Each structure stands twice: as structure tokens, then as C-alpha cells.
Structure 1
């Protein structure tokens, strides 16, 4: 079984607060200028009454975009809730049976995470496009692959058992376990910060790619789509963002083997 350290941009559901990768202007409230008031009438010497005082214009209330308050627990218990139910088989060939599991104590719905993983693995641009890989989500019985979303410390502990140093930031795949760092699942990376669902697809495709025996590759050329098996978190190297192993024509998106 290939062992792969997924490093899906560099360094971007409680405890560890994360805001560093939000857009820079998202941290600042709109600036409100003072309301402009009209100039008062100055009475002449013959005036017998004071001019009416102008009514000041109300100061506008700034329209704020509500930011989600996101905190990522650094540590969890290392136990999991398995998403209930299962899916139909997608792809051709003998299906790999997989579970989707979420570490206890984090604010991620196992059922919703499972739906998202199902959509990713069923996408025609995913690994089923190779013509011989198939997948089926289960919640019990024999399992080939565990896809687990967990806190950074739990990911580190699990991955280090296989000699992989995820440093509190990365994901890994080893011995039938795909370990997804909660920070990456929630925040993505700077390149994908505005499209977190796409980055989640990259995490799953990259790590499941390792499970299927694919190694790391690098950018095939400036302006070309970044392969899913490229460690995009370490830099795009001139490639443009892409999260799928195959294109819409069924062609593998790859590049030279990474050194």
C-alpha cells in the first residue's frame, strides 16, 4: 500500500482560533464617514426671529458582513462517530468499501461530511474515470478504507505511527486510513480560501489517490491545471488550480514525478 503525505497552499465543528487566512479586508468593519449637515441660516440685523435649526441627517449604520466565528480544537479524544447508512456502488470493478468518520467533539456533521465525500468520489472527473476503481460507502461490515476528519493533534498522532510528519497542518493517507486535518477541511488554503468545497475535493482525491497507489507529481507546465496528486499546499509552481484527477474528456491530469 502506498503511503502518502497529503499536503494539500502553505501556511493557511473548541480552542484554537483561526483567522489568518481570511481575506485581509474581512477583518475590518466598513468605515463610516460623519453625516454631512447643512449650514445654518445666519440672521441679519433686521431679523426678528432665529432661523430654524437645520435637522441633521442621520448617521448611517454600517452594513456588516457577518463573519462566521470559526474555532478549531487542537486536540480531540481520538474516537469517532461513523456516518450512518451507505451509498450505491460508483465506478467499475470490485468496489472499495469505505466509511466516513468524524472525531468526537468537533462541529462537523458526519452525515453531511459523508454526503460530500460521496459526491466527490462519484464525480466523473474522479478516480472512477480510470475504468477500474469503484467505491461504496458503508457504516458497518468489512471496510477497505476509513476516511476520518479529525483535530490536528489526532491527525499528527495517527500519521506519525506511519512515519509521516503532518506538523499540525497537513493530511495523510496510510494503511487504509485517510486522515483529514480539520483545519484544512474548514479553512482550505489561501489558493482555495474562497472555494472550500473544491479544496475538500482535492483533499479526498489526493489522499484516495495515495490509497490507490498513486505518488506525488509536480506541475506539468505554466498555466496548465495542477494535478490532484501535486502537493498544491506547497505552492502552485505556475499551474492553475484544479482538484480533479481527470478532465471532462476522461484524460488523466498529471505531471512529472515529484523529486
Structure 2
């Protein structure tokens, strides 16, 4: 789960309803496998009433999980988006109130402001997805990568880490929303040379 942090203020306020329909739409899967290693099947869903295109959100998730700086870089995992049958996790874009209900069912408090992951659910808060944080102001792609990679990292068994040193890339498993602790923003678990970017473990 991510804690509260200042939101970036866009010039034009996007449509962010407090509540959605409570029903999720799942776009058709393409069948492509990203990476090599243990296959992780995932679904992507978008709550109704958000004015968000489920297919576009799914493409964003696909791009992040398929990026060579992502979790496929270790050669331990591969990812395939499915729309039915067995799955390992589901990435859901939801309105703030819906996020609170889902995350609350796992014992987490999100206060309509943040994301969480629990069980097989990776729950992305529409408000955070659109407004980002001040650290990532003007860099939505970087913040979206952080969001997906951090929460999927939990599903892969990774715990939190903290900044390894001033000026170095923040680990993707760092709760960057608390503050950068001297590190620079980074939304990827690996660098372009395939090196895992981490730091001291956080209890």
C-alpha cells in the first residue's frame, strides 16, 4: 500500500468521480507472452463510470510489464494477460470509494487517496493514477511504471526497501510516496543493463 503524499496539481482537472458503478470491465486479451521464466497470468479491469478506456489502461499495464527494465529482466518471470481462466493477479483501476472497500476487505486503510495490493488484487486508485505525486509531476509514464511495478513486486514476493544512497535511483520497492530519502525517482526494478535496483530492506 502507498501512504498519503502531495498530489501534483494539473492545469486542467481530470474527471475523478468518488464512486464508480462497482462493476468492472475486462478487455479482451492479446495472448502475447512477455519475458522468460515462470508464467504469471494477469487480468486487467477498469471500473465502470470512470470515463476510462479499459483497452487503453490494459495497454499501459502491458507496456510496463513487458518493458526490459521490468520484472522480466531477471529471467525468473514471464507475463501473459488473460481474460478468463486461471490467473495469478488482476490489476484493477477503480474510483477512490471502491478502492477503500476492496483494500478495507484486506485490513488496509486507503482513505480514498492511495493504491493497495492484497490477495490476487492490485488495486489502482484513479485519483492517484491521474494526479500522480509532486515527485513525479509532469511524468505520468514514470509514475505509472512505479505504481504497477511496486504492487506487482509485492505479488512476486518482494518486501519494501529504502534508498541505498544519495543521488542513486530509488528502489521500485521503496515507498517513494513517503519521500525520496535522498534518492532520485525511479519506476523500474532493473536498469537498462539488467542490474536490480534495490537498497536496505525495510521491516
Asked if TM exceeds 0.5, the reply is yes
Q: CA deviation at 1:6?
A: 3.5
- Contact 2:15-2:51 within 8 A present in 1 as well: no
Structure with bigger helix share is: 2
Summarize deviations over 1:105-157 as a string: whole Å, max 9, x none: 00111101111111100001100112111100111222211100001111111
Q: Radius of gyration: which is bigger?
A: 1
Answer yes or no: is the 8 Å Cα contact 1:6–1:206 preserved in 2. Answer: no
Please tell me whether residue 212 in structure 1 is matched to residue 199 in structure 2. Answer: no
CA contact (8 A) 2:34 2:79 kept: yes
Size of the alignment, in residue pairs?
203
Structure 1 residue runs without a partner (length 5+): 13-20, 24-66
Q: Distance in 1 between matches of 2:13 and 2:125?
A: 19
State the TM-score, normalizing by the size of structure 2: 0.95
CA distance in 2, matches of 1:180, 1:87: 23
Contact residue 15 and residue 50 of structure 2 kept, 8 A: no
Query: Could you tell me which residue of structure 2 aligns to residue 77 of structure 1?
Result: 21
1:22 aligns with 2:15: no
Matched, 1:254 2:195: no
Contact 1:97–1:142 (8 Å) recurs in 2: yes
TM-score (norm 1): 0.75
Distance 1:167 1:173 in 2: 15
Q: Which runs of 4 or more aligned residues in structure 1 lie more than 3 Å from their structure 2 counterparts after TM superposition? A: none
RMSD of aligned alpha carbons: 1.4
> How far did residue 256 of structure 1 move?
0.7
Displacement of 1:85: 2.6
Does the 8 Å CA contact 1:86/1:139 hold for their aligned counterparts?
no
- Could you tell me which residue of structure 2 aligns to residue 236 of structure 1? 180
